Amino acid sequence: MKKPIFRGAGVAIITPYTEEGINFPELGRIIEDQIAGGTDAIVITGTTGESATMTDAEHRAAIKFAVEQVKGRIPVIAGTGSNETSYAVSLSKYAEEVGADALLVVTPYYNKCTQKGLIAHYKAIAEAVNIPIILYDVPSRTGVGITTATYVELAKVPNIVAVKEANGDLSKILRLKAAVGDDLVIYSGNDDQIVPILSLGGQGVISVLSNVAPKDTHDMCQAYFDGDVKKAADLQIAYADLIDALFCEVNPIPVKVAMRKLGYNAGPLRMPLCEMEPEHERQLEAALRNHGLLK
């Protein structure tokens, strides 16, 4: 069995911005609050961190900062995916050099490469680094999904150890597990499927919800691991309203608005992301109040 990078809830952490760039003091504060809340890993420069609109310098600086802030207390996983293989290799090598514990590598977007191209892309990155890689399957954003046959092939690569599954299809995840067994660790990429994926042998979640509810997201996973399936399921069901609100518009629009409401200087969204529609903001605020996160 390939060793999990973490078990439980890893936060797909937001990036707080000012008009000039990344707000590093606030990012440090958020990381500290996540660790205090029981988060099991920090996932920096992912989709929720608005990596698609970061400059190269910002991307590298955010990874380095997270590693230095965390100081080895929990794993730091760096999002280093790109639709250009040589850039993904360069960024992945940099993340390893500055001390990231693992990489989260999304499928190449826009190009819509074949499965043969996907295999070549991931193998090129894996051969360039020595740290573990999490494949990231999110076809709704990238236009490219990873097939079961491709997972079987990539599972043969020693440092490709896991997958973040955000395709939304539990039947596909069942067949993935049946095909690869313990040769790939599975993490949920959807907050509304944490417990269902744990029930299929998953080892946790890379979570947007954890930004606003780190303890309960961690506890949901831990309860399942401890054999208290009812508690885990009850938490999953209880948070349905907040999960819906956090995805009522494209991520990370709602979660950045939520973090502002919780008192964090999350700063602006980067265009083309824009502010929430008023009715969605009211939905989000009601859900935060329902869970006692807002008074």
Instruction: Please identify which of the residues 17, 94, 136, 187 carries the catalytic annotation.
Output: 136
Residue 29: exposed, middle, or buried by beta-carbon count in 10 A (0-12, 13-18, 19+)? middle
First to last CA, the chain: 45
pLDDT bin (cut points 50, 70, 90) of residue 295 is confident
Q: Name the residue type at position 130.
A: N
Q: Is position 48 annotated in a ligand binding site?
A: yes
Q: What is the pLDDT of residues 229-262, one digit of tens each?
A: 999 999 999 999 999 999 999 999 999 999 999 9
pLDDT bin (cut points 50, 70, 90) of residue 42 is very high
* DSSP 8-class letter at 165: E
pLDDT bin (cut points 50, 70, 90) of residue 25 is very high
Q: What is the pLDDT of residues 54-111, one digit of tens each?
A: 999 999 999 999 999 999 999 999 999 999 999 999 999 999 999 999 999 999 999 9
CA–CA gap between residue 289 and residue 173 (Å, rounded): 34
Q: Provide the CA 210 distance to its chain's centre, in angstroms.
A: 10
Q: What share of the chain is helix, strand, coil (3-state, %, to 5)?
A: 50, 15, 40
CA–CA gap between residue 182 and residue 171 (Å, rounded): 18
pLDDT at residue 181 in the model: 95
Please provide residue 54's backbone torsions phi and psi, each rounded to the nearest 5 degrees.
Answer: -80, 145
Please, what is the Cα angle at 229 between 12 and 31, to 5 degrees? 20
Q: What is the pLDDT of residues 192-222, one digit of tens each?
A: 999 999 999 999 999 999 999 999 999 999 9
Q: Which of 82, 167, 79, 95 is nearest to 121 (CA)?
A: 82
* DSSP 8-class letter at 10: E
What letters, b where the CB count within 10 A reaches 16 and e where it falls short, cover 137-176? Answer: bbeeebebbbeeebbebbbebeebbbbbbbbeeeebbeeb
Enumerate the β-bridge partners of residue 137. Answer: 165
pLDDT at residue 142 in the model: 87
User: What separation in angstroms does the CA of 223 have from each of 8, 150, 258, 277?
Assistant: 10, 32, 26, 36
pLDDT bin (cut points 50, 70, 90) of residue 29 is very high
180-183: list long-range contacts, CB under 8 Å, 24+ apart: 180/151, 180/152, 180/155, 182/1, 182/2, 183/1, 183/2, 183/155, 183/156
Q: Is 136 designated active site?
A: yes
CA–CA gap between residue 208 and residue 107 (Å, rounded): 19
Q: Is 164 designated active site?
A: yes
Residue ranges and CATH numbers for the domains of the chain are 8-228 (3.20.20.70)
CA–CA gap between residue 122 and residue 262 (Å, rounded): 38
Higher pLDDT, 17 or 2: 17
pLDDT at residue 243 in the model: 98
Instruction: Please identify which of the residues 94, 151, 164, 224 carries the catalytic annotation.
Output: 164
What is the rounded average pLDDT for all residues in the chain? Answer: 97
Q: Which of 238, 215, 293 is nearest to 261 (CA)?
A: 293
CA–CA gap between residue 98 and residue 65 (Å, rounded): 9
State yes or no: pLDDT of 1 exceeds 90.
no
pLDDT at residue 140 in the model: 85
